[in-house]
Structure 1
Amino acid sequence: MTVRKLDFRNPDHHASLFSVAPVRSSTTHDWKALYFERRDDVLFQTGEHAIDGHYLMVKLNPLSIAERRIDGRLRTEVQRRGSTAYVPNGCGHSVRYVRPLGSLCLMTLDDCTLREVADELGVTRFAGVPTFAQEPDNFVLNAFEALDRELRNGNPHGVLIGETYARLVAAHIVTCYGKGPRGGGRMPALTPVRMKWLDEYIETHLAHPITLETLARQAGLSPYYFTRVFKDATGLPPYRYVLHKRIEFACAALRRDELSIESVALACGFSDNAQFSKQFKKICGVPPSFYRMACRREEIAGIA
C-alpha cells in the first residue's frame, strides 16, 4: 500500500490530517526551510501518512499517553513535558492519543536544508533514526518555545529567525537523531574585515527583508557556520543583531526629527507601525513618540 506524503505547508494536505486549526503557525510568515505550529487539543488521531520533511514534535505539558507508529513499529508513549518524537523524511507515521493531547509544538524541516548542514558537519550519507516521544529533549523544547514566542509576538525578527533555527535544529537532528560517517574540519572565523562588510550591508538594506543566506554570502561562509561564528563574534544571533541595528537606525532618525514615526518604521524595515512601536519600547524602554519628545527637550535645553 502506498502511503500518502504530506506537506504541512499545503493547506489541503494539512486539513486532511488535522480537523482543528493550530493555535498559531508559521504559514503567513514565509519561513521557507521549516514549517512550525503550536497545537492545543484533546483526543486526537491520524491515519497512516508520510511527511515531506523531517518531523519533530515536543510536548509542552504533562501528561499525555499516545500510541505512535513509525516505519511499521508501534509504541505506547507516556509523554511528559519535553518528550520529543522524530520521524525522518518520508517515513510512514501515525499517532493516536488515548489521553488528552494538551499542548505541543511540531516542526517539519526541509530535507535539503538538513543535508546541507550534515555536509557542513562532515556527515556523509546521513540516515535519520526514528525516535518515539519517550524521553525529553531540552534543546528541542527550548528552541520550539522560542519559536512559539516569536509567532505569538508577531514575528518581529522576520524570516531571519526561521532560517537561523532551521539550521540549528538541523544540526541537532544530525548529531542526535542520525547516523552516518563523519569527517573532520575546523570552523572558519568571522574576521573583523568580514564583520565590517556585514555591518555595511545590513545598514544599507535595513528597509528590506534580510535573509540568513544573504548575510552568509556576504561573509563568504555557509549559512550554518555563519550562524555559529556570528554569535561567537557579536554575542547575538543574526536575527537579534539585525533587529538591534533597525532600532539603532530608528533612534538616529527620531533624533533628526525629519520623518514621521510611520516613515521611520518603514525606513528601518517594519511594515507594521504597531510592531515597530512594540519592539522599540522593548529595547529602548519607551515608545518612539516619547523618545522623540525627550530628544526635543534635550535640544531645547541645550539651546537655552
Structure 2
Amino acid sequence: MLSKIEQPSLISGDRDSDLSQLLPKKPLFSSQKLDWAGIFLEYHCQSTWETPYFSSPYHSIIVNNSHQIQIGRWSGNHKLHQQSNKGDLTIFPANSQNKHSWNREWEFFLLCLDPKLMTQIAYESIGVESIEILPCFATPDPLIYQFCQALISELRLGESCCCLYVEHLVSALSIHLIRKYSAKNHSLRDANGLSQGKLQQAISYINEHFTENLSLKDISNVVGMSPFYFTNLFKQSTGMTAYQYVIYRRIERAKQLLRQQELSIGEVSSQVGFESQSHFTNVFRKHTSRTPKMYRMDTK
C-alpha cells in the first residue's frame, strides 16, 4: 500500500532544503499538510528567476497558468528558449538534472508524483514492473491542465477536501502519464471486474460509510486489494468509479431527506457528508438539474 509522501523539494535532491531559498516566493497554495498519498501539489506565482541546476526524487510536472511566457532551459552548457502557452506542461523525470529561467512573473502548478506510485499503477494496469517517464517541454496537454484545476479546487478546501476524489484524480492522472509520456507505448490490461462477493463487500461498506470522508484505502482494504487495482475493477463492475458511487449514494439520500421537509437544506447537506451547503448545492444541481430548494418545492 502507498503512504503519504514527504514534501519533495522542487529545486534540489535534498529533501530537507528550504524551497523558499531557491525561489523568490513561497507557494500560494501547498498540499504539504494534507494527507494526499503519492502526490504533492503547489501553486506558485514567481517573479523573473533563474534556478540553479536541480533534481528531485519525484517525477515533477510544471503546468503553465500564464499566457505566453518565455522559458529558458539548459542542455549541457547551451541555453534553449521556448515559448510556453497557458496549459502547457514540462515534465522532469525523477533524479534528472535541470536548470530553467523565465522572463517575467509566472503562475504555474507544480505536481510531484512518487515513482513508487507510478511503478505500482504501471504494474497493475499494464503488467510491467518498471516504467520510464520521459522529459518534455512546453507541451500542450488540456487533460493534465484540467487535473491541476480540479486538484487546486480541492486544495483550497484544505482538510475538508474529498480524499476519494483526490485519489480518483491521481489514478487517472498517473494512467494518462504512463500511456502518453513513458518510453514505450502501453495498453491497459483487460479487467474482468470484481467477483460478486468482493463487489458486495465494497458496496456494503460504502453504503454504511458514504457520509464520511472515505479514501480508496479505506474501501480497498475491505476487499484486500491495493487502491488503484480496486478502483479499476470497481469501475469495470459498476460503470462508476468509487467516488461517483459515493456521490450517487449521497444524492439519493439527500432526495429522501429533502422530501421529508423536516430538515433545513444546510442540515441535509451536513447529514449526507458535504462540508458546505454551497458544495452540496452545486453537486446536487449537477446530478438533478435542480437546486435542493427547487427539488424540495417540486416534491411538496
**TM superposition score category, shorter chain reference:** 0.7 to 0.9
Amino acid at match of 2:202: L
1:159 correspondence with 2:155: no
Partner SS, residue 167 of structure 1: helix
Change (3 A) 1:136 1:262: closer
TM-score scaled by length of structure 2: 0.76
Which structure 1 residue ranges, 5 or more long, are not aligned? 299-304
Partner of 2:12: 4
Within a 5 Å distance, the mapping from 1:40-55 to structure 2 comes to 40-55=45-60
Instruction: Tell me, in whole angstroms, the C-alpha distance in 2 between the residues paired with 1:59 and 1:214.
Output: 34
Partner of 1:276: 280
Change (3 A) 1:175 1:182: closer
**Would the aligned equivalents of 2:192 and 2:236 in 1 still touch at CA under 8 Å?**
no
Identify which of 135, 157, 170 aligns with 1:130: 135
1:33 correspondence with 2:41: no
Report the CA distance between 1:274 and its aligned residue. Answer: 4.5
Change (3 A) 1:48 1:157: same
**Would the aligned equivalents of 1:70 and 1:91 in 2 still touch at CA under 8 Å?**
no
Q: Deviations over 1:50-98 (max 9, x none)?
A: 2242101122444111112478885322212343211122323332102
Identify which of 188, 192, 212 aligns with 2:192: 188
Report the CA distance between 1:184 and its aligned residue. Answer: 9.0
Q: Deviations over 1:120-175 (max 9, x none)?
A: 22223333333233x32343233323334544677986112221222222223333
Instruction: Tell me, in whole angstroms, the C-alpha distance in 1 between the residues paired with 2:223 and 2:283.
Output: 27
Higher alpha-carbon deviation: 38-47 or 180-189 = 180-189
Partner of 2:64: 59
Partner of 1:144: 148
Partner of 2:181: 177
Amino acid at match of 1:105: F
Amino acid at match of 1:19: P
Partner of 1:96: 101
Identify which of 192, 211, 216 aligns with 1:212: 216
Change (3 A) 1:15 1:190: same
Aligned-residue identity in percent: 25
TM-score scaled by length of structure 1: 0.75
Higher alpha-carbon deviation: 77-86 or 137-146 = 137-146
Instruction: Tell me, in whole angstroms, the C-alpha distance in 2 between the residues paired with 1:16 and 1:239.
Output: 39
Report the CA distance between 1:290 and its aligned residue. Answer: 5.6
1:75 correspondence with 2:80: yes
**Would the aligned equivalents of 2:23 and 2:46 in 1 still touch at CA under 8 Å?**
no
Instruction: Tell me, in whole angstroms, the C-alpha distance in 1 between the residues paired with 2:205 and 2:52.
Output: 48
Report the CA distance between 1:34 and its aligned residue. Answer: 1.1
Partner of 1:302: none
Q: Deviations over 1:168-198 (max 9, x none)?
A: 2222333333337989954232455544433
Partner of 2:18: 13
Instruction: Tell me, in whole angstroms, the C-alpha distance in 1 between the residues paired with 2:78 and 2:203.
Output: 51
Within a 5 Å distance, the mapping from 1:224-235 to structure 2 comes to 224-235=228-239
CA RMSD of aligned residues (A): 3.7
1:241 correspondence with 2:245: yes
What is the aligned residue count?
289
Instruction: Tell me, in whole angstroms, the C-alpha distance in 2 between the residues paired with 1:167 and 1:70.
Output: 32
Higher alpha-carbon deviation: 111-120 or 40-49 = 40-49
Amino acid at match of 1:173: L
Change (3 A) 1:261 1:138: closer
Partner of 2:269: 265
